[in-house]
Structure 1
Amino acid sequence: LTIKPLMALKSPYLVMSGTWIIGMLIGLCINSASGLAMLLMVTMFPILLGLGVSRLSATAAVATTLCFDWSPSDTGTILSAETAGVDPVVYWSHYQVPIVAVAFVVVGVLHYLTQKYMDKRDGHIVQPMEVEKVEEEADNAPMWYAILPVIPLALILSFSSLWITTIKMNIVMAMFIGLTIGVMCEYGRWRDGQKVLGDIQTFFDGLGMQMANVITLVVAGQTFAKGLVSMGAITTLIDGSKNLGFGPMAMMLVMVAIIAVSAIVMGSGNAPFFAFAALTPAVAAHSGLHPVLMLLPMHFAASIMRNCSPITAVIVVSSGMGGVSSFDLVKRTAIPMAGAMIVTIGMTFFYYYTGW
């Protein structure tokens, strides 16, 4: 039902870029990169494959949908605003939104060009699925079953600051409500409890396998991060940069570079940013830079560069669900994320020199 009208566009990679933009907008309501990726992997990912996009390209677009933690309710956004002494709403509307608005165009175009070129380089042939053949081979599932995969996403968007605020809804709750509704529909269809329970085991098998990988890598990454902080390696680097007499924007670039490298090595965006955010006001005061102009690019650098780490949770989850290598995946995300970093740094310089 979804693929038929999208085929009329004659441009699967345009739909893929649109998926990234839609994911970024949904990210205003869903603050978890992994949670958002899981939702889109069961909704948009099959559509992109059906249009002829390769698994790597489709997974890259989905995995990077929250490369900017720009939600007003995001913990990093709130921490940045409070540390900089700025109202969170002002921080979001005056500083974050303009950067993301520019990134929509730049990263969207880079995804289109990068994934299309790499698919062609790898010998991938864009071949849309034969809708009629799929319909013939289906086990006569009712057409309204197309609604089921969208239920978790609908719940998340409905019970949020966009609409109903009296009821709280999180990713796990939405996924299990959707699962329960699916089980009830299947039982009503087959009237065979044993078959339905047997089929649903697939869900829990996949859940256990993916989470085992994620937990292992997250624990390893956090242990390594704690070791770096305990050794004082990064603090020493910051002190050395200050002693060299770097100017305001040079110090900003140093802090951003530290966060970016840490996010890739640690496989986490929050870990390095939360560890060094408290140091930022003192560093900013020493260099004569407003704290927000140091915290803002640091915050975005952390969320951007985690998408270039093969051990970060969102990359592991997405690659596992997409059936691709996480190392091959980060090769596809590197160029669009480099564009996102350039936009972030460029806009920060714009803020600084225009007195925004």
Structure 2
Amino acid sequence: MGILMIFSTILATSIVAYYILKQYNPIFVFLFSGIILLILAFYLIGTPIPSQTQRNVEEITFFTTLLDSFTFITTTFQKQLSGVGLIIMSVAGFAAYMKHINASAKLAFLANRPLSKIQNKYLILSGTFVVGMALKIVISSYAGILLLLLACIYPVLIALGIRPIVALSVLSLITLDYGPKDGNSINMADMIGQKDNVVGLFLHYQLWVVLAYVVIIALLIPFYFAWIDKRDKAKNRLQEHNEIPEIINPQCPTFYILLPWLPIVFLFVAYFLQIKLDVITANFMSIALVFVIEFIRHKNAKKLGEDMVVILKAMSEIFISVVSIIIAAGVFAEGIKALGGIAILGDGIANLGVSAVILTITILSFLVYFFAMIMGSGIAAFNAFGRLAPDIATKLGIAPITLVLPIEIASALGRAASPIAGGILALAGFAKVPPIEIIKRTTPLLLIGMGINILVSWYLTFL
């Protein structure tokens, strides 16, 4: 029976990967496969379908089993929409408002000023990477921050004599999802049962992996891309244009660069003052404050109503692109868990002792890296497998965060290695180069990032 459970788990995962590679909609694939797996697990090994309906044995039929599986989907939607889903939607609404009033663009525009003081162009690339990663805490969308940097910093890099493909490659490395406002960070906190402790998890765990990644990659960038330039020129690769895009200064007051930081400030102040404040409230407080500032600036109450439509539209769009994937991936994860293969493998790994921790972190991290790469979505891969991690961590006798964290980081690194990820396509389209040319140059650094992620996460298990 154990072999059947492991085989069915591997088979199910492989089939899902196949259809995602075939460009089937991941939401449909996850939901449909999740339902099938829940039903198969019930009939193959007797795993009860997680449903609020309590039935006697004589009442159970195929129809009631099917009904219970759909009831589980309903409860999953209800739970996520009232919890993590609403948090992510509020973050997206605030981010869209900052873009609408040019506050986030102004922040990115002014961030490039220190870069112009650096003489060595390869050190400028390192500076660009560090600045971009710092901005990522307030501009949490991968595609969003890349589009801003393309408008504000990319032209500066080209004007300083940096080749477009090299500039694009460095920008693509600004990939880690982190901080109290980030959707994957919020999801990570929810997975380990600490939804209200996003700030604490960031300060005590996530921050250290991010810092290690930023420091090491920033040190490697000058040497690595100097070598890339020599190699490409020796092989006469890519006939690149030298047209310098126009640098646009967004039209809004300079102090608007402070506005995107408002939710972060509210959350950190509340955390250190031991005041209970959730991410949703912090975002809506920030929106209300910006409304007041915008009214004082424009003296137009009608404009605020139009701004609210921008916020609500962004919330609906993030439901389609992110929240629905979280829900569907959660159903799939429950189906995989019901097959029992993960539990058996977890028990087997747990018996290996200390080496079990780093082995498990490595296997799960690269599994998520691979899935993010073929899906083009970090959040989809993370939710499909991240929800399995807490149970495995319990079997290993470690805190769930030390296993969920490296999976979360791996999902972001895998997305940066995907030629179909929205951010990579935006970069490639902007400079008219094939996405794979970016991926070929960044993969070695992304794999180094994976090594940093695994080692630091493993070290955190002993703290």
Q: Which residue is equivalent to 1:10?
A: 119
**1:241 and 1:251 in contact (8 A); partners too:** no
Q: Does residue 81 in structure 1 map to residue 194 in structure 2?
A: no
Q: Which residue is equivalent to 1:241?
A: 345
SS in structure 1 of the partner of residue 399 of structure 2:
coil
Once the two structures are aligned, what percentage of the paired residues are identical? 25
| 1:255-274 C-alpha deviation (Å, 9 max, x unpaired) | 11211111111111000111
For structure 1, the 5+ residue unaligned runs are 170-217
* Amino acid of the structure 1 residue aligned with 2:151: V
Q: Which residue is equivalent to 1:102?
A: 212
From 287, 297, 301, the equivalent of 1:168 is 287
| 1:81-135 C-alpha deviation (Å, 9 max, x unpaired) | 232234211100011112222222111122222222111111189xxxx9xxx9x
Q: For 1:250-289, list aligned pairs within 5 A.
A: 250-289=359-398
RMSD: 3.9
How far did 1:74 drift?
A: 1.0
Question: Alpha carbons of 1:153 and 1:250: their partners in 2 closer, same or farther (altered >3 Å)?
Answer: farther
Equivalent-residue separation in structure 2 for 1:277 and 1:9 (angstroms):
41
Deviates more, 1:326-335 or 1:153-162: 153-162
**2:376 and 2:415 in contact (8 A); partners too:** yes
Equivalent-residue separation in structure 1 for 2:211 and 2:417 (angstroms):
22
* Amino acid of the structure 2 residue aligned with 1:74: D
Question: Alpha carbons of 1:163 and 1:29: their partners in 2 closer, same or farther (altered >3 Å)?
Answer: same
Equivalent-residue separation in structure 1 for 2:117 and 2:201 (angstroms):
41
* Amino acid of the structure 1 residue aligned with 2:458: F
How far did 1:287 drift?
A: 2.1
* Amino acid of the structure 2 residue aligned with 1:95: Y
Question: Alpha carbons of 1:230 and 1:329: their partners in 2 closer, same or farther (altered >3 Å)?
Answer: farther
Q: Which residue is equivalent to 2:402?
A: 293
* Amino acid of the structure 2 residue aligned with 1:284: A
Q: Which residue is equivalent to 1:59?
A: 168
Q: Does residue 305 in structure 1 map to residue 414 in structure 2?
A: yes
Q: Which residue is equivalent to 1:116?
A: 226
How far did 1:4 drift?
A: 10
Equivalent-residue separation in structure 2 for 1:156 and 1:240 (angstroms):
51
Q: Which residue is equivalent to 2:458?
A: 349
How far did 1:339 drift?
A: 2.1
| 1:204-228 C-alpha deviation (Å, 9 max, x unpaired) | xxxxxxxxxxxxxx9xx99xx99x9
Q: Which residue is equivalent to 1:92?
A: 202
* Amino acid of the structure 1 residue aligned with 2:436: F
**2:333 and 2:385 in contact (8 A); partners too:** no
**Pairs aligned (count):** 288
* Amino acid of the structure 2 residue aligned with 1:317: A
How far did 1:243 drift?
A: 5.7
Q: Which has the larger radius of gyration?
A: 2
**2:382 and 2:408 in contact (8 A); partners too:** yes
How far did 1:317 drift?
A: 0.9
Q: TM-score, normalised by structure 2?
A: 0.54
* Amino acid of the structure 2 residue aligned with 1:160: W
Question: Alpha carbons of 1:53 and 1:84: their partners in 2 closer, same or farther (altered >3 Å)?
Answer: same
Q: Which residue is equivalent to 2:249?
A: 147
How far did 1:13 drift?
A: 1.3
| 1:21-75 C-alpha deviation (Å, 9 max, x unpaired) | 101111110110000000000111111111111111101111221x211121112
Question: Alpha carbons of 1:61 and 1:147: their partners in 2 closer, same or farther (altered >3 Å)?
Answer: same
Q: Which residue is equivalent to 1:183?
A: none
Equivalent-residue separation in structure 2 for 1:70 and 1:279 (angstroms):
21
Q: For 1:197-216, list aligned pairs within 5 A.
A: none
Equivalent-residue separation in structure 1 for 2:115 and 2:211 (angstroms):
25
Equivalent-residue separation in structure 2 for 1:275 and 1:98 (angstroms):
25
* Amino acid of the structure 2 residue aligned with 1:80: M
Equivalent-residue separation in structure 2 for 1:329 and 1:154 (angstroms):
35
Question: Alpha carbons of 1:153 and 1:5: their partners in 2 closer, same or farther (altered >3 Å)?
Answer: closer
Equivalent-residue separation in structure 1 for 2:418 and 2:212 (angstroms):
24
From 144, 149, 169, the equivalent of 1:40 is 149
Question: Alpha carbons of 1:327 and 1:238: their partners in 2 closer, same or farther (altered >3 Å)?
Answer: farther
Question: Alpha carbons of 1:4 and 1:307: their partners in 2 closer, same or farther (altered >3 Å)?
Answer: closer
Question: Alpha carbons of 1:154 and 1:309: their partners in 2 closer, same or farther (altered >3 Å)?
Answer: farther
Q: Which residue is equivalent to 2:136?
A: 27
Q: Which residue is equivalent to 1:185?
A: none
Equivalent-residue separation in structure 2 for 1:48 and 1:152 (angstroms):
25
Equivalent-residue separation in structure 1 for 2:253 and 2:340 (angstroms):
46
For structure 2, the 5+ residue unaligned runs are 1-108, 237-241, 267-282, 289-321
How far did 1:299 drift?
A: 0.3
**1:103 and 1:340 in contact (8 A); partners too:** yes
Equivalent-residue separation in structure 1 for 2:123 and 2:183 (angstroms):
32
Q: TM-score, normalised by structure 1?
A: 0.69
How far did 1:152 drift?
A: 11
